[in-house]
Amino acid sequence: MTLDLSTYAADNGIKYFMISYTDLFGGQRAKLVPAQAIADMQKDGAGFAGFATWLDLTPAHPDLFAVPDASSVIRLPWKRDVAWVAADCVMEDQPVDQAPRVVLKKLVAEAAAQGLRVKTGVEPEFFLISPDGSKISDDYDTAEKPCYDQQAVMRRYDVIAEICDYMLELGWKPYQNDHEDANGQFEMNWEYDDALQTADKHSFFKFMVKSVAEKHGLRATFMPKPFKGLTGNGCHAHISVWDAEGKSNAFADKAMPFGLSAQGRTFLGGIMKHASALAAITNPTVNSYKRINAPRTVSGATWAPNTVTWTGNNRTHMVRVPGPGRFELRLPDGAVNPYLLQAIIIAAGLSGIRTQADPGRHYDIDMYKDGHTVTDAPKLPLNLLDALREYEKDAELQAALGTGFSAAYLKLKHGEWNTYCAQFTSWEHATTLDI
């Protein structure tokens, strides 16, 4: 039964709802709706001018309505009279094909029609930086190998513990927090869930981390590579597929290599087959390609892949199988759209199952040291344009995410690339002036 948001407001002392949707560039857009008006909004949605956000709509399009999915409602733990609710975009009573949450729901339904339930966990790393964005926020955080730095994580205890307390309160089952591999970088982990729930939590997590950081006079960034020479922000995804009831993990088979079942292997085969194209989604910004393909960082490793390879419990590859019944895709970065991340995983994985795709040989080498010895695996795209062109070549993946979505995404992302190319950089001035 659908939760009635009016009743929810009365029961919980909610004064305002944030009706929120995520656009194609991952921007979260919301209207603040007083509880007195939520009954109509729950039925009809909140009205937006779609053109004003990144959805490839024109000013002439009719109103876009964001219809709240009441099951996603979360009371803001840091502002208890407000509740956030994820919404689905609708126009003239039809779902908007290119809206990321609509795309994901379609793929979740496709998996369900095959009796499959994709469950994932994400690891969205972030930096705590100065409010003007120019540097990390902790002047003492300068170690060459700062990962798990006990002293540094405790200097940010007030921020990290506040966020973790909120996740405990929300029932997300968080289980660890640490200082990550770059100065100023942190990671917080909570338990995996169904793909749509993970996407909603991932969106809300970004909102929460930014909000709590701001409350403490800091700023949080998920930018893929905010500082040259330091490890970037990854957003690894751990993936498993379950039966329709969510009771039995279809990826688990102890008798198979790495404990990954035959179905798990074909799902992985789909990810491997479509890797170069799916980078257009998992690594969606110009800056993303400064994280993958990066030179060595100060800490000694980028922790990001540059080649389409998989392996067992070894963090130097694009895919790691850390233990039985799941695998980790290490390609996505902090700029990834939470909904499109899940959608592209399901799309590529279902393609793999459908075509019985083989993931190919696994490499058990240190890719950072011996990557040059791998001659039969594609290199990941070198920049956003490369990735967009790979996505353009991949008709199967385009169709799986929807031709309407794919056309809109490619159009807007090519526009972003063209804007980037029109920048006049100090580097080209310095290297070309005297030619």
Structure-token pair, residue 318 = 């694009």
Please report whether residue 200 would count as binding ligand ADP according to CB under 6 A.
no
Integer Cα distance of 37 and 19 in angstroms? 12
Please report whether residue 192 would count as binding ligand ADP according to CB under 6 A.
yes
CB of 304 to ligand ADP, least distance (A): 13
Please report whether residue 189 would count as binding ligand ADP according to CB under 6 A.
yes
Please report whether residue 191 would count as binding ligand ADP according to CB under 6 A.
yes
Q: Interacting stretch for ligand ADP, rule CB under 6 A, among 115-123, 261-269, 354-362, 377-385?
A: 115-123
Q: Within a 10 A sphere around the Cβ of 265, how many other Cβ atoms?
A: 24
For 185, the 3-state DSSP assignment is strand
For 312, the 3-state DSSP assignment is coil
Integer Cα distance of 408 and 80 in angstroms? 37
CB of 12 to Mg ion, least distance (A): 33
Residue with Cβ nearer ligand ADP (24 or 252): 252
Q: Are 104 and 342 in contact (CB under 8 A)?
A: yes
CB of 108 to ligand ADP, least distance (A): 15
Structure-token pair, residue 316 = 């130097």
Please report whether residue 238 would count as binding ligand ADP according to CB under 6 A.
yes
Q: Is the dihedral of CA 56, 199, 383, 291 positive or negative?
A: positive
Helix axis angle for 157-170 and 195-215, nearest 10°, is: 140
CB of 119 to ligand ADP, least distance (A): 5
Q: Out of 23, 56, 123, 141, which residue is the one contacting Mg ion (CB under 5 A)?
A: 123
For 412, the 3-state DSSP assignment is helix
Residue nearest to Mg ion (CB): 236
Residue with Cβ nearer ligand ADP (123 or 141): 123
Q: Is the dihedral of CA 271, 272, 277, 279 positive or negative?
A: positive
Partner from Mg ion, ligand ADP, none binding residue 121, C-beta < 5-8 Å depending on class: ligand ADP
CB of 240 to ligand ADP, least distance (A): 3
CB of 284 to ligand ADP, least distance (A): 21
Q: Out of 240, 276, 283, 342, which residue is the one contacting ligand ADP (CB under 6 A)?
A: 240
Interaction pattern, residues 206-245, with Mg ion; x per rule: CB under 5 A: ------------------------------x---------
CB of 320 to Mg ion, least distance (A): 8
Residues paired with residue 242 on neighbouring β-strands, in sequence order: 117, 249
Q: Helix (H) and strand (E) counts for the chain?
A: 14, 17
Q: Are 184 and 141 in contact (CB under 8 A)?
A: yes
Structure-token pair, residue 216 = 């403490």
Residue with Cβ nearer Mg ion (123 or 390): 123
Please report whether residue 178 would count as binding ligand ADP according to CB under 6 A.
no
Please report whether residue 97 would count as binding ligand ADP according to CB under 6 A.
no
Q: Are 270 and 349 in contact (CB under 8 A)?
A: yes
Please report whether residue 265 would count as binding Mg ion according to CB under 5 A.
no
CA 56 vs CA 31, 89, 331, 364: distances in Å? 20, 13, 26, 43
Which strands sit side by side in the sheet containing 185-190, from one edge to the other?
174-179, 185-190, 126-129, 219-221
Rounded to 5°, angle at Cα 25 from 30 and 203:
55
Residue with Cβ nearer Mg ion (236 or 413): 236
Q: Out of 181, 328, 333, 394, which residue is the one contacting ligand ADP (CB under 6 A)?
A: 328
Please report whether residue 125 would count as binding ligand ADP according to CB under 6 A.
no
DSSP, residue by residue, 67-81: EE-GGG-EE-TTSTT
CB of 71 to ligand ADP, least distance (A): 21
Binding interface with Mg ion (CB under 5 A): 123, 236
Binding interface with ligand ADP (CB under 6 A): 119-121, 123, 189, 191-192, 236, 238-240, 322, 325-326, 328
